[in-house]
Structure 1
């Protein structure tokens, strides 16, 4: 008859790995909590702004439109203008006021080089307030 005596080496093998699943779960819960509470914790600073008595600026009675057509012809308003004389024509149209807002329209067939050439001509004349005009639509 044989008797088996248990030794310390006969136990279950110990694993030296950390189970990270609970750690990840806790981190995800904390992430959600912070994502929800951070926008709520921002403080709105109450400011009592003073009232302005300045008159509202009236828009120009007639905006200045510069149009670059698909054949590279330039127009100011409804008038065709020679591209080399665009500066003189704009000065006459705006009565010498270089602070006038210019609205630039270009045909979509016009390439970028010609559009930039016209923008450079406007800048060389001293008109820096130039807005590009586009048509807003849902589909082309």
Structure 2
């Protein structure tokens, strides 16, 4: 900080270096602050892999959702309010908590997001989305 002494005005403070320091600190804090992430995280299946086998040893859980918001876990029909409790019951003895959500093309996204939210609330680690293209082998 520099002081200048003029006989007419008295001591005057030079604030230019203070503004420079303030701007540098502002930039540093903007860079190191992590961005806020919004939305639902989901793992999408990658095309070109081997098709899944339908053996009895396959213990994958697929939540199927049609356009009328009817739910099924694999082949078992279930109501939306009972979904969280049923998922907790299914995964209470499993170490790997992975669920796939399959919805028809005419299903509104809010229903899919609600199912993913319920699955995350039931302590499911990974929620994957199944698409019709990958099911058809395209």
TM-score, normalised with respect to structure 1: 0.50
Report the structure number with the largest CA radius of gyration.
1
Unaligned runs of 5+ in 1: 1-59
Higher relative contact order (CA 8 A, sep 6+): 2
Q: Distance in 1 between matches of 2:123 and 2:65?
A: 19
- Residue 104 of structure 1 pairs with residue 104 of structure 2: no
Count how many residue pairs are aligned between Structure 1 and Structure 2.
80
- More strand by percentage: 2
1:62 corresponds to which of 59, 62, 85: 59
Residue 128 of structure 2 aligns to a residue whose secondary structure is: strand
Q: Distance in 2 between matches of 1:138 and 1:129?
A: 23
> What corresponds to 1:24 in structure 2?
none
Residue 62 of structure 1 aligns to a residue whose secondary structure is: coil
1:91–1:98 Cα contact (<8 Å) kept: no
> What corresponds to 1:74 in structure 2?
71
Residue 72 of structure 1 aligns to a residue whose secondary structure is: coil
> What corresponds to 2:83 in structure 1?
86
Change (3 A) 1:85 1:138: closer
1:99 positional shift: 3.4
Compute the RMSD of aligned alpha carbons: 2.2
1:98–1:126 Cα contact (<8 Å) kept: no
TM-score, normalised with respect to structure 2: 0.51
